[in-house]
Amino acid sequence: MHKIAIIEDEHVIAEMYKMKLSNDGYQVEVANNGAEGFDLIKAFSPDLVLLDLRMPEMSGDEMLEKVRQTSWGSKPRVIVLTNISRDEAPSTLRFLGVDRYVVKAHHTPAQVVSIVEEILG
């Protein structure tokens, strides 16, 4: 069973994806900001992270940069799931091993699940 960490400060969105992915057989945990997300990834060792960028305490890109600097942080695949257009995204993302950049407003939850399935094989 693949493990997925959702790092998202909007509770309704996080719970929707948690329910949808859990129903599809994934083990899912949620963190509500970048600082919690860092701790979750360290403790949970997910196969994949759904990562929002704009969050309190620590942004998604800052958290991912911190994760990638650890011995355990190179493993998880990452889908950035945000409403920031690719043009507005932090330029550092391209160096942080992001598998896919998905704008929430342009994708249905079912499409996001399909992308997860495609990346995890």
The whole domain housing 114 covers 3-120
pLDDT recorded at residue 84: 83
Number of domains in the chain: 1
Over 90: is that where the pLDDT of 26 sits? yes
CA 39, 44, 48, 53: dihedral to nearest 10 degrees?
Answer: -20
Count Cβ neighbours within 10 Å for each residue of 22-44 and write b for 16 or more, e otherwise: eeeebebbbbbbbbbbbebbeeb
pLDDT recorded at residue 56: 87
Task: Provide the whole-model pTM.
Answer: 0.94
pLDDT recorded at residue 110: 93
Over 80: is that where the pLDDT of 117 sits? yes
Q: Which amino acid appears at position 10 of this protein?
A: E
Tokens of 66: 């911190």
- CATH at residue 49: 3.40.50.2300
pLDDT recorded at residue 78: 96
